[in-house]
Amino acid sequence: MLHAKSLSEPHHGTTRATGLSWIKLQQYSQIPVMSSDETPSLEELRCLLWTRARPTGHVDEVWPNLYMGDLYIARDKAQLSQMGISHIVNAAAGRFRIDTGPKFYKDLPVDYYGVEAEDNPNFDLSIYFYPVARYIRAALNSPRGKVLVHCAMGISRSATLVLAFLMICENMSLTNAIQAVHSHRGICPNSGFLEQLRELDLQLGRDKHREAEPSGPVSCRQTQRHCPS
């Protein structure tokens, strides 16, 4: 059974933060979250996603300096410039999808990362979880780093990659990651992507368990999951 709790400490991983940025991290980390000792079932995840769904705009900040959006914000270079976006992850890249790319953004000071993913339950998006997580972490750690992760509607492919980032790099469970993002933007990863995130959650849980196996006291620092470099 899932139980509600509020995080007492910020889940900020290695993100640099000072001043107002630190205050923002504290605010994001105080979001009430659902916690479970076990990875939720697919049905439980669907219930979590459908509970108190927020309206979804063209773009929303879902974590400090990390934005999720749709194809409209991805093509609005004036708005991207105004927002100060420095890095863009296109989770719907490709000629017959959202065909932007480095040439499209050549007049903006942004770095581009394209993922040619299909919003299809049978598509294996998990192969991009760690590469994209590393990219987002490096981008957020860069000076004035602001990242936009987008797909066509900004609710499935992009959401899945952002959730994976929070799990891998911010030491969150899948349930906590969904709750954190869901409090700022309505999301709806397809069933196949949810299963892939469940497998990631199980794997990270196994890794954490193995790290805690050595005899003797084990510190939190020793057992904390880290974003791979």
Q: Is the dihedral of CA 185, 172, 12, 109 positive or negative?
A: negative
Helices (H), 142-190: 157-169, 174-182
Eight-class DSSP state of 155: S
Q: Which residue has the tokens 């065909």?
A: 99
Do 41 and 1 touch, CB atoms closer than 8 A? no
* Residue 169 among the catalytic residues: no
Tokens of 147: 């990242």
Eight-class DSSP state of 20: H
Neighbours of 60 (CB within 10 A): 18
Instruction: Exactly one of 47, 151, 220, 227 is catalytic; name it.
Output: 151
Side-chain half-sphere exposure of 51, counting CA atoms within 13 A: 12
CA-wise closest residue to 174 among 22, 57, 49: 49
Tokens of 67: 């934005």
DSSP string of 36-100? -SSPPPHHHHHHHHHTTPPP--SEEEEETTEEEE-HHHHH-HHHHHHHT--EEEETB-STTS---
Active site residues: 151
